[in-house]
Amino acid sequence: MKFAPVFRAAALASMIALLPATTAGFAQVEGRASPEFAKLFATYQRIKASYVEPVEDEVLIRGAIDGMLGALDPHSGYIDGAAFERLTTMIDGEYQGLGISVQMDDGAVKVISPFKGSPADEAGIKAGDYITHINGELIYGLEINEAVAQMRGPAGTSIELTIFRLGRESSFEVDVTRGVIELEPVTWELKPGNLGYISVNEFSKDVGADVYRGIRELRAQAAGSLNGLVLDMRRNPGGSLDESVALADLFLSEGQIVSQRGRHRRDTVFYEAETVFRGDALEGLPMIVLIDEGSASASEIVAGAMQDHNRALVMGQRSFGKGSVQTLLPLSRDTALKLTTARYYTPAGRSLQEGGIEPDITVPQISDPDAARRARLSVRESDLRGHLVNEVGLEDEIFETDKMDDPRFQLTAEELEEQGIEDFQLDYALKTLRRTSGTSIASR
């Protein structure tokens, strides 16, 4: 089986827009040198002259850049060297490693998502895990590039990761064998009852076209009698904005899909359904969209569009809440700024930032033995230090943990296993579709 790309650092995990730009006027304000730059230069001079040991200019300048970007939000950053090379390599689509997406969180390496079927996924690593040690060596405080470099390696070699998981009382070790990771963002399968299941692992090139091909093949397997579809975007950290629009366009005949609004007029863009695939590819068949706390960015755009247009029932757990646009601003041939430049809004004008997408039906993943504790302690965008605040304001209730007191959700993972249920959320979605087969199913 082919897997999604190996490690993508924070720059790759959260970026869903790559737009060229220039940096003219960087050190000036309205044509005049900013007084604040005099303080910066004076500090630089004092350090160079008086620090206990000589300091290279490269160290000081990089520290100043990181400090400026660190004062903004968790998704803005400076890309150079290995990170820039990985950004380029990722487009080629083949890697050797673990198949996992990570970012830095207050000095710790946090797992955004293991890609489905990857070595990391098969080893049991989950979204929200923190990697504290590699082969017994503490990696807290390392640059993301250093940590990622240690985790990459030839296929067939093993690595020991020490994992801290919210809800567990102590850390534990996981042995993972690296593999060849090749881009395969979309998979599909016909489930009993002629129900289609399509999993979208990330939003890379041709995702919209691949999902359309999946629908056609599912129809053929069902002898033309497809009765519904589950679109699974759980643990999907995002990717291309264009592909998220293309995917939503598959199921919408008209109307707005998403809008982005920034500081300048040029940053405000509205994306409309263009019926590229001649209207709703499912022709009105019932549809459920699965999301969880690992569904971010482009995944939230699609889920929000389906929800606002009453096209699908959104099920699972509240999504991550990353509603900001990152633009890649080149500085040189091998360096760039990844800068937050706008916010996303659903067709109904809801900001995705902080709150994310609240499912129409909350269904916890109780087949995960740590589900209850993970739900109480899970980390989302609103928990990241320095995150952008939702400009319209949100009630505190939206940040409460997912409800776990429904009697339907009181079965244990062991009891589910005895019933042959490995994925409770998917099982629940399929059963819901079977009950509604032959009728429309909408989010409101």
Show which residues are catalytic. 297, 308, 322
Q: Is 46 exposed, middle or buried (0-12, 13-18, 19+ CB in 10 A)?
A: exposed
Q: How many residues are present in the chain?
A: 444
CA–CA gap between residue 113 and residue 203 (Å, rounded): 13
Q: Is 330 exposed, middle or buried (0-12, 13-18, 19+ CB in 10 A)?
A: middle
CA–CA gap between residue 325 and residue 76 (Å, rounded): 10
Cβ–Cβ contacts within 10 Å for residue 364, how many? 23
CA–CA gap between residue 101 and residue 230 (Å, rounded): 24
CA–CA gap between residue 63 and residue 81 (Å, rounded): 15
Q: CA torsion 97→98→104→109, rounded to 10°?
A: -120
The beta-strand segments (E) located in 68-107 are 77-80, 94-97, 100-105
The amino acid present at 102, given as its one-letter code, is: V
The token duo for 205 is: 């090139």
Q: CA torsion 144→125→239→353, rounded to 10°?
A: -80
Instruction: Give Rg (Cα) of the chain.
Output: 23
319 with 259: CB under 8 angstroms?
no
